[in-house]
Amino acid sequence: MTTPEVPETPERSAAPERSPAPGPGPASAPGEGNGGSRRGNDTPEPRVTAMFDAIAPVYDRMNTLMTAGLDEGWRRKAVKAAALHPGGSAIDVACGTGKLTFALARVTGPGGRVVGIDLAPAMLIEARRAWGDQPGVTFELGNALALPFPEETFDAATIAFGMRNLASFEEGFAELARVVRSGGKVVCLELSTPRPRWFGRLYLGVFHLFAPALGTLFRRRSAYAYLPHSLEGFPDPREIAATMRRVGLRDVRVKRLALGAVALHVGTVARSEKDAGQEPPG
């Protein structure tokens, strides 16, 4: 089955602004735009970690069922957006069972370096079991909001279906950008709410029924009830793009996938006007 896509659209801005780290905001209905969406996940971090530990053994099977196998194609697009080369380096944040981490490593090759970071130990056990013997691939326990690496360590940073679980979306993007070298890419693959608004509401309604029901098959109903909750009030792709620009990312691009149920965001790290290919304002 071929999934229609909205053509890739560049979203540019003037000189970026860095705003103070936001606190959690009120939830909104899908499509309501700036001001109503959450600025971070309001579920306590220990609870989120425990939930992902609980679902780690069935995580890949559930994803395949819930996406009808389309998630593999979405990851391929994320890898392409990272613009890596053989011998390059990347960090995959909220790596889960490591599928995207390994896909990135297939590009960088044995001479490259790809690090998968996750806060859930059980997820890392699954990742190491599947991919831990691959040259150039390592998995480490770490928090997406405090990555254990110096500035400008990697050529690219990715996060797939993990941004909406962070306590602050802006701080999450800021950390991704911090550890990437100037000119490198920050890539975010995440669930979204389809348009128009009536269809988005219908989608969320079905999602609220479908996810827990499917979780019941694997005795994980309560954990998968969290999935549609995490999407409620999550910023729409335009807001995510604006957040990426606020932390200094340039040339932010958005591609909607799966009828708008998934969004791929890509931004370029630029630490100076020269790096951004623009003349300083005068």
Q: Give pLDDT tens digits for 94-111.
A: 999 999 999 999 999 999
Range of the domain at 127: 44-184+191-269
d(CA 167, CA 156): 22
In a domain, 97, yes or no: yes
Q: Could you tell me which residue, 106 or 26, shows the higher pLDDT?
A: 106
In a domain, 23, yes or no: no
pLDDT band at residue 281 under the 50/70/90 scheme: very low
Question: What confidence score (pLDDT) does residue 94 get?
Answer: 97
Element (H, E) at 70: none
**Which amino acid does the sequence have at 19?**
S
Question: What confidence score (pLDDT) does residue 7 get?
Answer: 37
CA nearest 178: which of 138, 145, 140, 211? 145
In a domain, 257, yes or no: yes
Rounded mean pLDDT, 188-209: 78
For the chain, what is the domain count? 1
- List the alpha helices (DSSP H) in 110-168: 121-131
**Which amino acid does the sequence have at 198?**
W
In a domain, 275, yes or no: no
In a domain, 228, yes or no: yes
Question: What confidence score (pLDDT) does residue 18 get?
Answer: 31
**Which amino acid does the sequence have at 224?**
Y
Residue 111 burial by Cβ neighbours in a 10 Å radius (0-12, 13-18, 19+): exposed
Q: Summarize pLDDT for 237-279 with one digit per residue, the tens.
A: 999 999 999 999 999 999 999 989 999 999 999 976 655 554 3
Q: 137: domain CATH number?
A: 3.40.50.150
Average pLDDT, the chain: 83
Assess whether pLDDT exceeds 90 at residue 130: yes
CA atoms 199, 202, 208, 209: torsion sign: negative
Q: Summarize pLDDT for 5-21 with one digit per residue, the tens.
A: 333 444 333 333 333 33
What's the pTM?
A: 0.81
In a domain, 96, yes or no: yes
Assess whether pLDDT exceeds 60 at residue 47: yes
In a domain, 62, yes or no: yes
In a domain, 37, yes or no: no
Q: Could you tell me which residue, 230 or 124, shows the higher pLDDT?
A: 124
Assess whether pLDDT exceeds 80 at residue 212: no
d(CA 155, CA 91): 8
Give the Å distances, CA to CA, from 270 to 8, 109, 178, 238: 21, 26, 10, 20
